[in-house]
């Protein structure tokens, strides 16, 4: 049941995103579109409550409960940037908006971009690890929490990989090839 709910939440995320952006740009109802987009966190709240109820009713904590925590964490850490990414493309395609912002390619701007990306991924993994820890405490000594601990280890790996990537761009910033013209960096626009 938990896996089906995770799939339903993911499908629901993209459906709400499509409906919200369609209302915003095609129907020219930005308030209604924003209202639909603000329903996105409700999906994660439902998943959190159902997972907690499942554990409370005596379900053995396993990989599915861990996956639910990871999904919620990644929605928190990456959801806004995903919505912004889709919003830019939708506005450009259907509402005559400017072309989507591309990440900078070189130098300090690229390094800063990599650190911001790493921060989003680290937030996602930290929220997931926190939810996994809460689930471990919730289950307590009455059940096996090894699968939840395994997910926590994976979240530490996600944090480590993203920090290593950002550090590598700090130490060895990508430079343009000699004679190449560098584009002026544009910043990401807010919703």
Question: Residue 13 falls within a domain, yes or no?
Answer: yes
Question: Residue 182 falls within a domain, yes or no?
Answer: no
Number of domains in the chain: 1
DSSP symbol at 26: I
At 14-68, the pLDDT tens digits run 999 999 999 999 999 999 999 999 999 999 999 999 999 998 888 888 999 999 9
At 155-178, the pLDDT tens digits run 999 999 999 999 999 999 988 888
* The pLDDT of residue 83: 95
* The pLDDT of residue 149: 94
Q: Which domain holds residue 116?
A: 2-171
Distances in whole angstroms, Cα of residue 23 to Cα of each of 36, 39, 67, 95, 117: 9, 14, 32, 11, 29
Question: Residue 162 falls within a domain, yes or no?
Answer: yes
* The pLDDT of residue 59: 86
At 84-129, the pLDDT tens digits run 999 999 999 999 999 998 999 999 999 999 999 999 999 999 999 9
Question: Residue 181 falls within a domain, yes or no?
Answer: no
Question: Residue 188 falls within a domain, yes or no?
Answer: no
* The pLDDT of residue 188: 47
Question: Residue 73 falls within a domain, yes or no?
Answer: yes
Contacts of 125 (CB under 8 A, 6+ apart): 73, 77, 155, 156, 158, 159, 162
Question: Residue 27 falls within a domain, yes or no?
Answer: yes
């Amino acid at each position: 049941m938990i896996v089906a709910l995770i799939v339903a939440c993911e499908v629901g995320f993209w459906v709400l995103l499509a409906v919200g952006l369609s209302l915003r740009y095609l129907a020219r109802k930005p308030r209604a579109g924003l209202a639909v987009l603000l329903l996105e966190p409700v999906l994660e709240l439902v998943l959190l409550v159902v997972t907690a109820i499942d554990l409370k009713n005596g379900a053995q904590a396993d990989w599915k409960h861990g996956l639910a925590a990871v999904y919620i964490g990644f929605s928190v850490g990456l959801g806004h940037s995903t919505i912004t990414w889709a919003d830019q493309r939708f506005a450009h395609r259907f509402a005559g908006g400017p072309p989507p912002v591309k990440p900078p390619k070189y130098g300090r701007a690229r390094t800063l971009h990599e650190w911001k990306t790493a921060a989003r991924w680290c937030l996602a993994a930290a929220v997931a690890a926190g939810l996994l820890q809460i689930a471990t405490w919730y289950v307590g000594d009455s059940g096996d929490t090894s699968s939840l601990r395994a997910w926590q280890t994976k979240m530490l790996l996600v944090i480590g990989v993203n920090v290593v990537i950002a550090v590598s761009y700090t130490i060895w910033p990508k430079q343009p090839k000699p004679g190449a013209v560098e584009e002026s960096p544009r910043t990401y626009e807010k919703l």
